[in-house]
């Protein structure tokens, strides 16, 4: 099942806006960031332009603004924004502001303003009065603050976009000054192409216990994750293999992936009946329930999460030692997202895939996509009765994935269903937009 913006629990006027913009499906970056940002806390994200990251931070912040003040009445005459987005360049500030204006089209009373060098002061001062969200370059923002044209003490949410570029352009002191002027805020999000040490230092100084979201690329080797395949004769054999792995003494916490929402509930029920501490997580659950279950996993109260792809995207819990693919992913790219739930923060992890012989085309598609073979292994006493009919292909073999249409489409459009218009590569280091080339000048 494809994820929608509605699954992310966003407010109606924002859903209307995404629809009007023709955004049918959240990009992988959005699917990952939006739930985290809504959860609260400070987040440090490594991401690329062209991945849909602007809407990924604007949507959850606008959602929170709407939730706090549904009729969001602007205060005439006051220049006291609640959301502040810092950008390194005028061009980026303008783009972000334009995206924000498009996203608030159906929100009552939320006004957007831009503050940047090179624009007449008078016009900017008039514009920022009554604006809830201000997009700014750091230097001009501080100028306006010093001349008392804007107050920053009501800022609740601060975003530092393209933080690495802001450091390159010498904005470190300005950013730190702005940080001090809105120290009462409740959330800070920081975006950067890398997690280089200087970026991490800035993150530490701006944020409280920042958590990281690292958007991985398809062909990452995942050397710290031991990937294994077990051929299964059917569902009950899969259950026996699942039980074997969940009883592994090295298992701290596990995510078991199911193909459907119904399956996730059923597997969780069966695991609980077998004495495991397990809970289901899927997109049909109200956001509050999802948050509670995730919190319980994060606190270690739940050991096993049985999830669908949509629900588990972006899950970042370092104590997850095992990922088990009980149902195979619909798209080969989801395999990479799934296994990335373990082996986090420099730890090692185990990723087990349980496949029936009739699913071997999907297994090949995964191997083709990751360009790595999946090593089939046997557990004594749990051997499959049937042997695989054809030898597995070599990774990179063109035949892999031929009849796995979803996979081919995922490769074409980055897997979020917008074949025309801007193309998205996999989120991650190589994830540059091929349709969106921006030139930055200051």
List residues near ligand AMP by CB under 6 A: 23, 25-27, 30, 49-55, 418, 422, 433, 436
Three-class secondary structure of residue 253 per DSSP: strand
Residue for token pair 């588990």: 312
Residue 369, helix vs strand vs coil: helix
- Rg of the chain's alpha carbons, rounded to an integer? 23
Nearer to ligand AMP among residue 49 and residue 253 (C-beta)? 49
Quote the tokens at residue 36: 């985290």
Residue at token pair 């334009």: 98
Give CA separation, 121 vs 113, 114, 115, 182, 347, in Å.
13, 11, 9, 22, 51
Provide the b/e sequence for 285-303 (b: ≥16 CB within 10 Å).
Answer: beeeebbebbeebbeeebb
In the complex with ligand AMP, the residue whose CB is nearer, 28 or 138, is: 28
The residue among 9 and 50 lying less far from ligand AMP, judged by its C-beta, is 50
CB of 422 to ligand AMP, least distance (A): 5
For ligand AMP, give the closer residue by CB, 162 or 174: 162
Decide: helix, strand or coil at residue 331: coil
- Do the bridges between strand 187-192 and strand 43-46 make them parallel or antiparallel, or are there none, so unpaired? parallel
- The smaller minimum CB distance to ligand AMP, of residues 24 and 224, is found at 24
Which are the contacts of 223, defined by CB distance < 8 A and separation ≥ 6? none
* Nearest approach, Cβ of residue 364 and ligand AMP (Å): 29
The CB-of-22 to ligand AMP minimum distance in angstroms stands at 7
Closest approach, Cβ 51 to ligand AMP, in A, equals 5
Closest distance between ligand AMP and the C-beta of residue 274, in Å? 40
Distance separating alpha carbons of residues 263 and 271, to the nearest angstrom: 12
Nearer to ligand AMP, 26 or 349 (CB): 26
Give me the residue whose beta carbon is nearest to ligand AMP. Answer: 54
- Which residues, other chains included, contact 137 with Cβ-Cβ below 8 Å and sequence gap of 6+? 86, 87, 88, 89, 90, 93, 115, 116, 117
Rank residues 400 and 414 by Cβ distance to ligand AMP and give the closer one.
414
Nearest-approach distance from CB 102 to ligand AMP, in angstroms: 8
| Secondary structure (H, E, C), 138-152 | HHHHHHHHHCCCCCC
The answer to whether the CB of 276 falls within 8 A of the CB of 302 is: no
Least separation in angstroms between residue 290's CB and ligand AMP is 20
């Amino acid at each position: 099942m494809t994820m929608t913006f509605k699954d992310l629990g966003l407010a109606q006027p924002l859903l209307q806006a995404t629809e009007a913009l023709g955004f049918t499906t959240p990009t992988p970056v959005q699917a990952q960031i939006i739930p985290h940002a809504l959860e609260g806390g400070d987040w440090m994200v490594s991401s690329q332009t062209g991945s849909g990251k602007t809407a990924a931070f604007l949507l959850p912040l606008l959602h929170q603004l709407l939730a706090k003040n549904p009729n969001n009445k602007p205060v005439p005459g006051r220049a006291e924004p609640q959301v502040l987005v810092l950008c390194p360049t005028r061009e980026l500030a303008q783009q972000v502001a334009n995206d924000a204006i498009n996203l608030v089209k159906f929100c009552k009373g939320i006004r957007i303003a831009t503050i940047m060098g090179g624009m007449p002061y008078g016009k900017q001062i008039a514009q920022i009065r009554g604006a809830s969200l201000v997009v700014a370059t750091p230097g001009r923002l501080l100028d306006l603050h010093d001349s008392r044209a804007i107050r920053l003490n009501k800022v609740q949410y601060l975003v530092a976009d393209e933080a690495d570029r802001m450091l390159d352009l010498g904005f470190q002191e300005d950013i730190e000054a702005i940080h001090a002027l809105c120290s009462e805020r409740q959330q800070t999000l920081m975006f950067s192409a890398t997690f280089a040490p200087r970026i991490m230092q800035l993150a530490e100084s701006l944020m409280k216990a920042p958590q990281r979201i690292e958007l991985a690329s398809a062909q990452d080797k995942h050397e710290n994750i031991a990937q294994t395949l077990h051929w299964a004769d059917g569902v009950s054999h899969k259950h026996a293999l699942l039980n074997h792995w969940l009883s592994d003494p090295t298992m701290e916490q596990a995510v078991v992936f199911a193909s459907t929402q119904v399956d996730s509930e059923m597997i969780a029920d069966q695991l609980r009946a077998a004495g495991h501490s397990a809970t289901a997580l899927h997109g049909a659950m109200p956001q509050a329930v999802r948050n509670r279950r995730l919190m319980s996993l994060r606190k270690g109260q739940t050991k096993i999460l049985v999830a669908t792809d949509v629900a588990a995207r972006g899950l970042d819990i370092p104590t997850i030692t095992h990922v088990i693919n009980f149902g195979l992913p619909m798209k080969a790219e989801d395999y990479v997202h799934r296994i990335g739930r373990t082996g986090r923060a420099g730890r090692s992890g185990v990723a087990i895939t349980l496949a029936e012989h009739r699913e071997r085309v999907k297994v090949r598609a995964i191997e083709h996509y990751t360009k790595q073979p999946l090593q089939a292994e046997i557990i004594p006493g749990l051997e499959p009765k049937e042997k695989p009919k054809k030898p597995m292909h070599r990774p990179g073999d063109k035949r892999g994935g031929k009849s796995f249409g979803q996979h081919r489409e995922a490769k074409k459009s980055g897997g979020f269903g917008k074949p025309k218009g801007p193309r998205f590569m996999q989120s991650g280091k190589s994830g540059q937009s091929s349709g969106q080339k921006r030139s930055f000048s200051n």
